[in-house]
Amino acid sequence: MPAPTPPGLGTQLVTDTHGPDAEVLVSPGYLAGPGPSLAIFNTLGNAAGWTRTVAFGTDTYFTSPCQRVRVANPVESYYGGWTISYAEDPLGIPDWITTFDRNTPSEIVAAFTETLVHGLHNNFADYLSGGKHYTGTSPASLIARHHWEPVHGSRPFRSVSPDGHAAYQMRAGWLHEYDELISPEKSTWRMSAGPDPVYTPAWQAFFSRYTPQHLIAASASAFTDPTPVLRTPDQIPDRHRSLTTVTLPEPGLAPRASAALARSAHAPAVAIPPYPAAPATLARHTGSRRQR
């Protein structure tokens, strides 16, 4: 296995030697930059029954066949990136909203959207207790498993990665649920990373209070995954180059690089069976808390 290039010097060395389009393995993934969004578009575009609309030439919107989930990729909006909302009453106020800003690594977004699409057809029953995909794993347990340190006395409560450049935050105390639907900054959970992940993060992802835990856990799994991700040198943010380790994949794409490619949005589009369509009436349907 090739030795990692020196932090800070590695990106420039790879660029000078192999050119700016050379694919490299970057770790940690949460500092690798957003990368391409191909995997996200593939998941949503291949989902059976989902509709896709392009507005203003740049903004893309996806809607589930049950009309309860809407996914927006408004390029020029304040946060950019991806916003996902769910409403039991399709004409009502959303029950939950998740926002990934434009700089969020695509692997973290793709983990969320893939799990969302895969489980929506039966209202996530497969991911609840007793379901075939239920693991009982919470976002907090994933954070602890990777030895992230809780910051005692912090408000909101947060845990920080061992390198100090990523944070998982949980807001405690009373907050009107509509406030976090209107302002992502007030959301109950937040993931962020950067040289200072708490006060001046390079990217942020927000999850409102009623976002299903298994969806947050899917993103948390990608967030904490130590497997390097594929990028080209010019996709790594300048401020992160001294904080990341860059490695050239071995010829023939070594197993480690294959694993990175599998979880990377840089993976090529492939023909896959469509996900089951979400029926008009979902299993275990309960009335919306905001029914008209």
pLDDT in tens, the chain (292 residues): 444 444 444 555 555 555 667 899 999 999 999 999 999 999 999 999 999 999 988 899 999 999 999 999 998 888 899 999 999 999 999 999 999 999 999 999 999 999 999 999 888 888 888 888 888 889 999 999 999 999 887 778 899 999 999 999 998 777 777 788 888 888 999 999 999 999 999 999 999 999 999 999 999 999 999 999 999 999 999 999 999 999 988 766 544 444 545 454 444 433 334 445 554 444 444 444 443 3
The confidence score (pLDDT) of residue 240 equals: 97
Kindly report the pTM of this predicted structure.
0.82
- pLDDT at res. 284: 44
Q: Describe the crossing of helices 106-120 and 213-224 by its angle, rounded to 10 degrees.
A: 150
Domain boundaries, the chain: 1-28+227-269, 29-225
Contacts of 5 (CB under 8 A, 6+ apart): 11, 13, 14, 245, 246, 247, 248
How would you label 159-194 residue by residue, b for 16+ Cβ within 10 Å and e otherwise?
bbbeeebbbbbbbeeeeeeeebbeebebbbbbbbbb
**pLDDT at position 283, please?**
40
> What local confidence, expressed as pLDDT, does residue 59 receive?
94
Nearest CA among 207, 217, 258 for reference residue 133: 217
Distance CA 27, CA 32 (A): 7
- Residue 45 is predicted with a pLDDT of 95
pLDDT value, residue 177: 73
Structure confidence at residue 10 (pLDDT): 56
* Helix/strand/coil for 88: coil
End-to-end CA distance of the chain: 60
Location of structure tokens 């692997």: 107
186's tokens: 């007030």
pLDDT of 291 reads: 39
Sheet holding 245-247, edge to edge: 229-231, 24-27, 245-247
User: Among positive and negative, which fits the CA dihedral 159, 233, 100, 44?
Assistant: negative
